[in-house]
Structure 1
């Protein structure tokens, strides 16, 4: 076995669909989605995010680190605070599209459930 055959595939040799899958895996956590929703509105400090997200500080820090490592969010220090922001406005657009898709899916399911419910039994007012 040569040294070349044991190396991990480079970014350029990995198919785009695999990069997309990794991207969506990164988004696949409720805390990360909530953070991204909040950052879609404006930049936030960790102290501002904590009460809105409702998790322990260590857990929020872990999720922010994942988002930062993948390049979805960026941070900067302002005094004693760390301020987070989205790196791309398209993330906000993606969340809006996801909301539209979910709304349509849930509306369709609600309609299906209504169709499956038994009709009200006729009343006998005779």
Structure 2
């Protein structure tokens, strides 16, 4: 049986499960931006950015505030910045572990190559 919190977590992480959405969130963690700014920075089509922002808004991950004829997007919860940072640290830890494993795996090969 799935609890409400498990369902929330599942839906939340599904919303994050797209590279463009992650990049948008990383940009918004730096500062609030409108669609044109995000599009320019990412070099992505406006329709793609708008589509991803719609998904993030639907999941209450970002909010849009109307300013004149533009909508300024921001993170709904500043802890999302921390979540992205933790995810990056986990990724880096995995890279370090992988590099260490590869170094151990390749160590005998290095020794053999030195003798040749």
- TM-score normalised by structure 1 residue count: 0.82
Q: Point out the structure with the larger helix share.
A: 2
Aligned partner of 2:53 in structure 1 is 64
| 2:88 matches 1:99 | yes
Match of 2:114 among 96, 119, 122: 122
Unaligned regions of 5+ residues in structure 2, if any?
Answer: none
> In the alignment, which residue of structure 2 is the partner of 1:76?
65
Cα distance in 2 for residues equivalent to 1:41 and 1:103: 20
Higher-Rg member (1/2): 1
| 3-state SS of 1:122 partner | helix
Separation in 1 of the partners of 2:4 and 2:59? 17
- Structure 2 Cα separation of the partners of residues 68 and 14 of structure 1: 23
Listed as ranges, the matches of 1:11-90 within 5 Å are 14-90=3-79
Query: Over aligned residue pairs, what C-alpha RMSD do you find?
Result: 1.6
Deviations 1:57-96 (A, max 9, x none): 1111100000011111000121222110011011001001
Deviation at 1:47, TM superposition (A): 1.1
TM-score where L is the length of structure 2: 0.89
Q: Could you tell me how far 1:22 is from its partner in structure 2?
A: 1.0
How many pairs were matched up? 112
The unaligned stretches of length 5 or more in structure 1 are: 1-12
Q: CA deviation at 1:53?
A: 2.1
Q: Which runs of 4+ in 1 moved over 4 A?
A: none
